[in-house]
Amino acid sequence: MRVALLFIDGVGVGARDPDYNPLARGEWLLSQFEDGSGTGLPGGGLTLLETTFGVPGRPQSATNQTAILTGEPAPKLVGRHILGFPDAALREIILRASVVKRLVASGGRATFVNGYPGAYLTALGLPHVPARAPEVEISERARRRLRPSSTTLAFAAASVPLRTLDQVRAGEALSHDLTGARGRGRGFDVPLRTPDEAADVFWRAAGGVDFTLFEHFLADEAGHARDMALAESELAKFDAFTRAVLRRRPADTRVLVCSDHGNVEDLRIRNHTRAPVALLSFPPLEGTAPETVADVAGLIAGARG
């Protein structure tokens, strides 16, 4: 079965309290709570995934995304939680053990639907179709500070070309905010799309591909900002997109929705939480249930059309 992963950064399973948990303010698919209540999942199943790996401190994006994309307990391997972008040790793990690399090596096909400015990908030395024109100028000083994300590295490890804003404009890739509004607000020439239109683009990009990934990180930003209005807006938009993706789901494809760690479910604090995250699967998983976020890689590794 093919696999499509809708990854959303920073969404954990917390208390059903609308005073500080925006997930309790809507009937979204990710509105799942620690007391076992939550939105029904027609045609789908729910598994709670552990995020700490027994390592003290708060889970972070670099280590847990590395775990998701390699199947290895990255926080335990490096002895700590690493925020933001992978450091040298995590980059080595991803380049060695990327689940995308394994899938491609065994004859599978994979694609990352997010589109990036071509100049950004060039500055990082990541594989991509050359952009027709640079959308942004990156100074030498800024270039030295740039670091690739876990997601881009996982595909680069398999030499899978990443998508650019040219492909966003052509209806072959998606803006990270789904609608394109944020990019347009920053001066980028990208189209505005509804979540429903974004789902059409997603499945067009996924055609004939064994593993397809889309990454959304604005819920995590809302959590750090303790911004209830932004959190509700982004969660609602992601939910509308997810439901549109599910309405179009081919029978031969499993759609997974998951996060890397908690954050937005508790706006009383600005930090990540140690809460579990929800793994949604359409259709439901069979057999042994995954236990940690690292087990998501095993669901991807066996993807086949």
Name the H helices within the chain. Answer: 61-70, 74-78, 88-97, 99-105, 118-124, 140-145, 150-156, 165-169, 181-185, 195-206, 218-225, 228-247, 296-301
Q: Is the peptide bond before 284 cis (omega within 30 degrees of 0)?
A: no
pLDDT tens across 23-74, in order?
999 999 999 999 999 999 999 999 999 999 999 999 999 999 999 999 999 9
- Write down the pLDDT at residue 85: 94
- pLDDT band, residue 275 (cuts 50/70/90): very high
pTM above 0.75, yes or no: yes
Using DSSP's 3-state secondary structure scheme, residue 258 falls into: strand
- Residue, of 50 and 186, whose pLDDT is higher: 50
Residue 140 has what pLDDT?
Answer: 73
CA distance 121 to 107: 25
Cβ atoms of 192 and 184 closer than 8 Å: yes
Can you say whether the dihedral through the CA atoms of 105, 110, 114, 117 is positive or negative? positive
Q: Are 261 and 10 in contact (CB under 8 A)?
A: yes
Q: How far, in Å, CA of 15 to CA of 21, rounded?
A: 7
Confidence of residue 130 (pLDDT cuts 50, 70, 90): confident
Percentage of residues in the chain having pLDDT higher than 70: 98
Rounded to an integer, what distance in angstroms lies between the CA atom of residue 94 and that of residue 97?
5
> Which tens digit of pLDDT belongs to each residue from 219-256?
999 999 999 999 999 999 999 999 999 999 999 999 99
Burial classification of residue 211, based on how many CB atoms lie within 10 Å of its CB (0-12 exposed, 13-18 middle, 19 or more buried): buried
User: CB within 8 A of 195, min separation 6: which ones?
Assistant: 178, 179, 237, 238, 240, 241, 244
Helix (H, G, I), strand (E, B) or coil at 88: helix
Tell which residue, 206, 249, 222, 262, has the closest CA to residue 49. Answer: 262
Residue 266 has what pLDDT? 98
CATH code of 2-301, in short, is: 3.40.720.10
